[in-house]
Copies of this chain bind each other. A is one copy, B any other.
Amino acid sequence: MSALSFRTATKDDLPAIVALLADDEIAENREQATVSDEYVKAFAAMEGEHYNRMLLAESGAKIVGCLQLVFVPALSRKGTKRAIIESVRVAADLRGQNVGTALMKEAIRLAREGGCGLVQLTSDKRRARAHLFYRRLGFVQSHVGFKKDL
């Protein structure tokens, strides 16, 4: 694997991102592997918003990982700005090679640089390996995560 680099996604990256999102045993039933209108519209709503981005890890010219990084000003904890991470994915053929660790560390660096005092995420209860991964990165499993479809 070539050295990793990191950047914010543009519209041209959508096919690679959507393929990464779908290549997951838990998420595969709720994603499509091709770029449908829903993804295009959602990306247009994200793009250009200062608080919301898809962060990519690249090795050479190949996109090998992604995550969504959101900065949210908030009043709680004496006005602590939060970074929220969603949709962490690493290409199947590169898992176990620290791509995810490097990508998360870059997200944490950006969160600090952006003035965040807290970074948070939720992970499906079934993702035991992911939970270990986040604990190794210094995350504390202090909360339970609730979701409700609308």
Interface residues, chain A, CB within 8 Å of chain B?
A: 17-18, 21, 27, 30-32, 36, 38-43, 45-46, 49, 51-52, 54, 68, 70, 72-84, 86-87, 108, 111-112, 116-125, 131, 134-135, 137-150
Contacts and interface: CB of A to CB of B under 8 A. Distances in A.
B76 A86 contact: yes
A114 to B, nearest CB: 10
A125 B72 CA distance: 22
A144 B147 contact: no
B77 A68 contact: no
Contact of A75 (B84, B87, B111, B139): B87
A56 to B, nearest CB: 12
A76 to B, nearest CB: 4
A112 B74 contact: no
Given A70-B72, A75-B87, A150 B118 contact: yes
Contacts of A117: 149-150
Given A42-B74, A75-B42, A86-B76, A146 B123 contact: yes
A121 to B, nearest CB: 5
